[in-house]
Amino acid sequence: MKWRVAVESPAREYALRCAEHFRRRVHARAYAALLAVQHEAYGIYNIAERDADVLTEKARRDLEWRDDVRLPEDAVTQSPA
């Protein structure tokens, strides 16, 4: 029998926030790759949330990229071993 202990701590909460942030970033880049294939687009695109530090206009124009679109949870899965 395995025992699991749920421990709430600032480090655990931080790790969970980081995991969620990473998951959103992976989904955003997968979505951008799908758009690039659909639009037969070639080049380098900034894929990021709208920010004054990062210009994403090229991706918005050429790929019809939107930073508020997220893939469904089951869209990104691990391939079978």
Q: What pLDDT shows up at residue 58?
A: 92
Domain residue limits, the chain: 11-70
pLDDT in tens, 2-52: 666 556 677 778 787 877 777 777 778 888 888 999 999 989 988 887 777
Q: What is the pTM of this model?
A: 0.59
* Cα 51 to Cα 8: distance, rounded to the nearest angstrom: 33
